[in-house]
Each structure stands twice: as C-alpha cells, then as structure tokens.
Chain A
Amino acid sequence: MPINNQVPEVNAGSMADIAFLLLIFFLVTTTLETDEGLNRLLPPDQDIPEIVVHERNVFRVQLNDANQLLVEGEVLELADLKHRTTAFLDNGGIIKGAADYCDYCKGDRASDSSDNPHKAIIYLEHTRATSYGTYIAVQNELVAAYNGLRNRESLNAFGEGYVAMEQRFYDEKTTPTEKEILKKQIKQIQGLFPQKIIESNANENNNPHEKI
C-alpha cells in the first residue's frame, strides 16, 4: 500500500477573502475623527480697568432663557445675525478726514453705528439657562461675520481668502519662509478687523473680555 508521506498543502485560495473581510470590518469601524471647533482665548483672571465706550460702538447681543435673540434692543432671527453684525463692523461711521477714518469700510457710514472696526465691540450676554447649542450658533455667526469681512480684505490685498491663508499657515507642508510671509499677512488682515467680543457672565458683574 503506497503511503503518502507528503504533508498536503493548505489551500490558500480563501486567504484573500478572509483578508478582505477583515479589511472591510476595519474600514467600517474606523472613524477618522478629526477634532474641530471654535477656538477662543479666555481673558486673564484679573481686574480689568473700566473703559468708556460710546454706545454706538457697542453691538449688544442678548440671549434669554428661552433662547430668543435680542440684538440692539430688537428681537432678531438667527439667520439675520450675520448680516447685521457685518453691517455694524463695516459701518465706518466716523466723518471723512478724521484721524481714524476707515477708508476700507464699505458700510452705510451711519452716525449711530460703529466709528471704525477698531472701536467696534460686540457684547454678548447670556443667562445660565440659555442652551449651549444656541450660544454656539450665535458665536458661529459672529465669527462668520468677521471671517467674511477679513476674507474680503484679504482677497483685495493678497488675492487669497483669509480662511484659506490660515489653513495654509497651519498646514505642515508649508515651508517656514512661506509661513513667515503668511503670518505677516494674517496679522495685517486681523489688524484691519480685530475681533473684539466681550462676554458677560450671567452670574458675575464684571465683564470678562474674550477675544481671539
């Protein structure tokens, strides 16, 4: 009787299928989670000297317990907030010829709105019961207004959007020399429309300044 001494080869034909199954499993379970959000810089914890600001330079945004929005004393829909904020920041109401006249502003130049973007302050108030979702929505619209204006100036000056420039600045592929240039350009645009958002804490009386 002939004896087969050879060990039979394991059939590897299904190897690909097994590997495919595993691959698909990992593909499905992988959530390439990229964290993103709105960056803020809190004000340092110290007494802030009082500053006197003209009422026309303050843009009041208030949120109540029922998540309703009150802007400059009138009820407003969230969808209109960005437009109103842009109009306020871009107003440039100071008379032509004054030292801090805003020559790049394209607003209405109304006398009862902000003098120039440097003086324009957004004052955001909320209560302890305001929902976080609404708060973030408002923050987002305010940032959107700033970004819109910064984009406009950036496109004018450098032919590249502000947000795109920021993205490129943080990109790892950007060379240090490019970064140096970008940093200067970003600083310049930020200087044109500095973000000044003051937040009032519902349970505190002092006004912590919050800006980027």
Chain B
Amino acid sequence: MRKSKKKFRALPAVSTTSLPDIVFILLFFFMTVTVIKDTNLLVENTLPNATEAVELKSSNGIIELRIGKPLQKYQGEVGMEPQIQLEGKFIRVDELQGYVLGMLNKMAEHNRRKATVSLKVDKTVGMGIVADIKAKLRAISLLKINYATLDGEVLANL
C-alpha cells in the first residue's frame, strides 16, 4: 500500500518532445487537402438556398459557369447586365458553345460521358440569361446540369 503511494508521488512528466512532430503531421495534412482556388470572381455570386440539394460527385467532368452582375471594377468594360464567367474571364452567350466544347475536348474520355455543367448563378439574376444558356447547352447535347445551391431555408431567396 505504502509502496504504491510512493510511486504515485513520483509520477514522471509526460514527454512533449513529440508534440512538434504531431503538429507538423496535422499541418501537412491541412496543407495538402487545402485547395486554393486560382480563379477569382469577376461577378457577384451569392448562391440561392435549397433544402433538397444533393452533393455533386467527383470534381472531374464538371464545367463551372458563374453567372451574375459584374463586380464594380469590371462594369466599365462589360456593363451592368449579368455576365457569364468561365475560368476567370467573361464570355458572351454566343461564345459559350465553343468554349464548353473546347473544355469537353480536354477532358478525359471516361469523364466526358458524365460531364455536368454546374451553374453557379447569383440569386438576383433574372431567368432570361439562364434560359439562354440552357438553350445553348441543349443544342450541343450537354444535358446534365446542376443548379449550385447552399444549404438553407428557401424563403431567404425571395
């Protein structure tokens, strides 16, 4: 009894020498999983809310279109009307098909079949431009689309 009590008193301090290593491993993990988006936004892009959204599988085979009113600093060049942004530049509706087909060509064969166009549309934009884009995509038989949304109550969209 007495012996064990003595032992407790002499409890050695926990060694923290391996702490930096642990932290470094964590650090490397976060460094590798972090995806730094290289395209910056040229348009206003507040996505609408939805409750029934499903997760978009794999990031391969996704063509991302951002639609919204140009930011203040670009309004001098392109005006106030909603514009389409594809990979860091503005494109017009009539140029869309060419660009999208070009991107489709660069894709790996197995991704091409399940290619999805992700429409990231600002919630204040009118449906006119969205309808035009859908018509253009239909014409080139790119029929899978996804309306990107955020999780949340839909009444906030109004």
Contact = CB atoms under 8 A, between A and B. Distances in A.
B127 A131 contact: yes
A129 B127 contact: yes
Interface stretch (A2-10, A35-43, A86-94): A35-43
A40 B128 contact: no
3 nearest CB pairs, A to B: A133-B123, A128-B128, A133-B157
Given A35-B146, A136-B123, A137-B49, 4 more contacts: A22-B27, A35-B59, A41-B144, A45-B139
B interface: dominant SS: mixed
B148 A137 contact: no
A141 interface: yes
Interface in A12-63: 12, 15-16, 19-20, 22-23, 26-27, 29-30, 32-45
A26 B27 contact: yes
B124 A139 contact: no
A36 B122 CA distance: 15
Interface residues of A, number: 53
A99 to B, nearest CB: 33
Given A41-B144, A139-B147, A202 B20 contact: no
Nearest to B139: A45
A78 B50 CA distance: 13
Interface in B101-158: 116, 118-119, 121-128, 130-131, 134-135, 137-139, 141-151, 154-155, 157-158
A16 B56 contact: no
Interface stretch (B2-10, B29-37, B71-79, B87-95): B29-37
A45 B50 CA distance: 28
Given A22-B27, A136-B123, A41 B143 contact: yes
Contacts, number: 169
A82 to B, nearest CB: 10
A38 B128 contact: no
A134 interface: yes
B20 A140 contact: no
B26 A67 contact: no
Given A35-B62, A39-B144, A132 B55 contact: no
A175 interface: no
A143 interface: yes
Contacts of A36: 53-56, 148-151
Nearest to A45: B138
A186 interface: no
A203 B94 CA distance: 16
A153 B128 CA distance: 37
Given A30-B30, A133-B48, A144-B52, A67 B146 contact: no
Nearest to B52: A143
27 contacts: A15-B20, A16-B16, A26-B34, A29-B34, A35-B59, A36-B54, A37-B53, A38-B54, A38-B146, A38-B147, A40-B147, A41-B144, A42-B143, A78-B158, A126-B127, A128-B126, A128-B127, A131-B125, A131-B127, A132-B121, A136-B123, A137-B157, A140-B50, A140-B52, A143-B52, A166-B54, A202-B131
